[in-house]
Chains A and B, each alone.
Chain A
């Protein structure tokens, strides 16, 4: 690797050629503060918080975009630099509502942290005109509060450049500049897919999910209700971050213990219905291959992806697997099979899910998601909301014992837990499909490493029982768009495609704990969190979905075979064709 040598604050540093000053400073153990910069997403050098002095340069430079040169001398902490950063912060605060006490991000707000670190007072700085905005509450899943927006454009960058959606951006100019949708439409009236990546990258409290924690507590307090909770695979890979655990720490046992202490009547695992999804989806795949159905078959677990497909690729909704997502399959089984088995009236059940996802809040209200005649899932909360609940109720998460999920909807195989990482559903499906195709023999391959990893698009070909199976995996919707465009143009020929709406899959979902840019810019959170899931998989004695004992029992005593009439009634759904613009 070609390197350059420079001096930062008088110390000699060797950095890769092409690195920015920000990156080189990290090598020298100096953290330069940033606000608008987000690696691979937003590099516009606009906010001026990361300015540094470069010897010989006319003015302060933005270290996030300024490349290092041989012999360069950089000063990151001179009075001039610190004054400039403070002035910038004061100006940002002059048009900010500064209501930290009641802010959802208080404590992990990047703006608040900067003010504290740089010793910037928030009172009486540049008192003058302040923009006031109404909240945009039109979307099912989230709120935009532009009174807290600092115009960093991280949200609009991730929406357009990473997700290929672009329904939010900067409107007007100068003091009136605001981030919103075209013609000031509410987000709910646009072709927003509810992925929540904008929330995940927002440095302040301007964007947040619609909070349903009070609804959960009210249900638990209602003596006439039985409140059951399911938790998605990816939640256990990230929840610990909210309680000080290093990123990538799996906290499944403590998470189950915490949910029990919140007061849920039973604590179940979405891994159960992830295994169930594999049973149905691998059946659907083999059926389509053997009976000339529409190919490629595309997975349907990710509701952000589903909404994207409906808006932007309406001609491909026939390719979508008719399988409900694991969240919805779980709710369907809970309110039919489980309710009947336990003798509970389905109307007395409150079905709660904890998801790494904001689109799940949209999904629970979709049509054709009510197997028992009532909603499969009543309330869907994010990983962040679960953390808030745990803190509100004074549950000392870190000292909890590791506990198990309840039976019978609490068991999951290793194939299920990897659903939370890009490629995981594909791998789980391949495990079971190959096992079926090769005559249900022991010794079937378990690991399909070609579909693992954080690349946006992955392809592989497997020879199974004399048949070549071409598969592809995409995560992040811009990657999905690239892949599907190839399929539509006949440039690629796949049998089976996995698509996840968020880059890296659910571990990096829009409902996961927000990660400060100072960490995000130097750590691949997708890979670190995914490792926790692959570790759970490797440690599980059951690694094929068809080995899940509770799923076997469900088929034996209730559903019959995968793809049966009853399975179709309960576990499958339909899609709609949507438009991008509602004119």
Chain B
């Protein structure tokens, strides 16, 4: 996974104060790194290097240890979510109907990898498992919009609908 930060960090003083109080409350408990990371993601929406460094310094543990945990669990994200959250179903039915190609096409068009967000903060791209619309396979969602029976060739037009 590339270390590039796709969107500049825009944390506020309030968020920082909130995180520091969470860490102060939890850090002396055994196994507190996970809950601290969960709370940090609640506060910031994701876990950029600035946030992980704060956690490492406050807890007195190496940054690598924080990063190792943050990248082990798929529920933690190193990247923010975009204004438009694209979610491509890679469940079995969608996958055999070609959602892998759709996912690759979107990565290519957006210039980001799955899990990341475009530098302008507009689109983020994630893979998901079955959303229960197998009859429409392959399926993707953009925020609350659902698109089905797709081909990779349609992706550019779909993205163009979102400003």
Q: Which residues of A contact B (CB under 8 A)?
A: 156, 160, 165-173, 181-185, 190, 580-581, 583
**Which of B3, B57, B65 makes the CB contact (< 8 A) with A166?**
B65
CA A156 – CA B62 in complex, angstroms? 11
- B78 contact set on A, CB distance < 8 A: 183
* One of B37-45, B66-74, B140-148 contacting the partner: B66-74
* Contacts A168-B64, A583-B49 given; does A184 touch B57 at CB 8 Å: no
With a CB–CB cut-off of 8 A, which chain A residues contact B62?
160, 165-167, 169, 182
Q: Do residues B3 and A160 form an inter-chain contact, with CB atoms below 8 A?
A: no
| Count of interface residues, chain B, beta-carbon cutoff 8 Å | 21
Shortest CB-to-CB span from A557 to chain B, Å, is: 50
Partner of A172, one of B1, B2, B63, B66: B1
| Known contacts A184-B2, A583-B49, A583-B50; is-contact A166 B64 (Cβ 8 Å) | yes
| Other-chain residue from A165, A168, A172 in contact with B71 (beta carbon distance below 8 A) | A172
Q: Is B156 an interface residue (CB 8 A)?
A: no
Residues of the B chain whose Cβ atoms lie less than 8 Å from the Cβ of A173:
71-73
- Smallest Cβ distance from A164 to chain B, in angstroms? 9
Taking A166-B61, A173-B71, A583-B53 as contacts, is the C-beta distance between A182 and B2 under 8 angstroms? no
Give the residue of B50, B63, B73 whose beta carbon is less than 8 angstroms from that of A182: B63
Q: How far is the CA of A190 from the CA of B50 in the complex (A)?
A: 15
Sampled A-B contacts (9; CB under 8 Å): A156-B64, A166-B62, A166-B64, A166-B65, A169-B65, A170-B68, A171-B64, A173-B71, A173-B73
Q: For residues 42 through 62 of chain B, which have their beta carbon under 8 Å from a beta carbon of chain A?
A: 49-50, 52-53, 56-57, 61-62
Is A181 within 8 A of B53, CB to CB? no
Cα A502 to Cα B72 with chains together (Å): 31
Chain A residues with CB under 8 Å of B49's CB are: 182-183, 583
Q: Kindly provide the distance from the CB of A44 to the nearest chain B CB, expressed in whole angstroms.
A: 14
In the complex, what distance in Å separates the CA atom of A580 from the CA atom of B58? 13
* Closest Cβ–Cβ distance, residue B46 to chain A (whole Å): 13
Q: Is the CB of A184 within 8 A of B1?
A: yes
Summed over the interface, the residue pairs from A and B with CB atoms below 8 Å come to a total of: 59
Chain B residue contacts of A160, Cβ below 8 A: 62, 65
Check A171–B67 contact: CB distance below 8 A.
yes
The residue that B64 contacts in the complex, of A169, A172, A583, with Cβ under 8 A, is: A169
Closest Cβ–Cβ distance, residue A264 to chain B (whole Å): 40
Q: How far, in angstroms, from A301 to B41 measured CA to CA in the complex?
A: 44
Chain A interface helix/strand/loop/mixed? loop
Does B68 lie within 8 Å of A171, measured CB to CB?
yes
Query: Given A167-B62, A182-B67, 8 more contacts at CB 8 Å?
Result: A166-B62, A169-B64, A170-B72, A171-B64, A184-B2, A185-B3, A580-B63, A583-B49
Are B68 and A581 in contact, CB atoms less than 8 angstroms apart? no
B residues in contact with A167, CB < 8 Å:
62, 64
> In the complex, which residues of chain B have a beta carbon less than 8 angstroms from the beta carbon of A183?
3, 49, 52, 63, 67, 78
Distance in Å: Cβ of B53 to nearest Cβ of chain A: 5
Contacts of B57 in A (CB 8 A): 580-581
Inter-chain CA distance A180–B163, complex, in Å, is 38
Q: Which residues does chain B contribute within 8 Å of A170, judged by CB atoms?
A: 68, 72
Alpha-carbon distance A185/B5, docked complex (angstroms)? 12
Given A160-B62, A171-B71, A581 contacting B1 (CB threshold 8 A): no
Contact (Cβ within 8 A) A581 B2: no
Report the separation of the CA atoms of residues A348 and B80 in the bound assembly, to the nearest whole angstrom: 57
**CA of A156 to CA of B68, assembled, Å:** 11
Q: Give 6 nearest A-B pairs by CB, closest first.
A: A166-B62, A182-B67, A183-B3, A182-B63, A169-B64, A184-B3
- Chain B proximity of A95: nearest CB distance (Å): 18
Task: Give chain A residues whose Cβ lies under 8 Å from the Cβ of B65.
Answer: 160, 166, 169
Q: Is the CB of B64 within 8 A of A581?
A: no
A169 vs B70: C-alpha distance in the bound complex, in angstroms? Answer: 12
Separation of A182 and B61 alpha carbons in the complex (Å): 12
Give, as a whole number of angstroms, the nearest-CB distance from B109 to chain A: 24
The smallest beta-carbon distance between B47 and chain A, in angstroms, is 10
In the assembled complex, which residues on chain A have CB atoms less than 8 Å from the CB atom of B61? 166
Provide the residues of chain A in CB contact with B56, threshold 8 Å.
Answer: 581
A171 and B2 CA atoms in complex are apart in Å by: 12
Cβ–Cβ < 8 Å partners of B67 in chain A: 169, 171, 182-183
Question: Once bound together, how far apart are the Cα atoms of A173 and B1, in whole Å?
Answer: 12
Chain B residues whose C-beta falls within 8 Å of the C-beta of A172 in the assembled complex: 1, 71-72
Chain B residues lying within 8 Å of A165, measured Cβ to Cβ, are 62
Give the contacts of B86-110 with A (CB-CB under 8 A): none
User: What's the Cα separation between A170 and B66 when bound, in Å?
Assistant: 11
Q: How long is the Cα–Cα vector from A167 to B71 in the complex, in angstroms?
A: 15
Instruction: Tell me, in angstroms, the Cα distance from A168 to B67 when the chains sit together.
Output: 10
CB-CB nearest in chain B for A173: B72
A169 to B56, CA, bound (A): 14
| Bound form: Cα–Cα A172–B2 in Å | 12
Q: Among B61, B68, B73, find the residue whose CB has the most chain A CB atoms closer than 10 A.
A: B68
CB-defined contacts of B72 to chain A, threshold 8 Å: 170-173
Residues from chain B with Cβ under 8 Å of A169 in the complex: 62, 64-65, 67-68
Residue of A nearest to B52 (CB): A182
A177: nearest residue on chain B (CB-CB)?
A: B72
Rounded to whole angstroms, the CA-CA distance of A171 and B68 in the bound complex is 5
Q: Which residue of A lies closest to B63 (CB)?
A: A182
- Kindly provide the distance from the CB of A332 to the nearest chain B CB, expressed in whole angstroms: 35
Residue of B nearest to A181 (CB): B64
Instruction: Tell me how far the C-beta of B52 lies from the nearest C-beta in chain A, rounded to whole angstroms.
Output: 7
CA A206 to CA B72, docked complex, whole Å: 22
> Which of chain B's residues has its CB closest to A182's CB?
B67
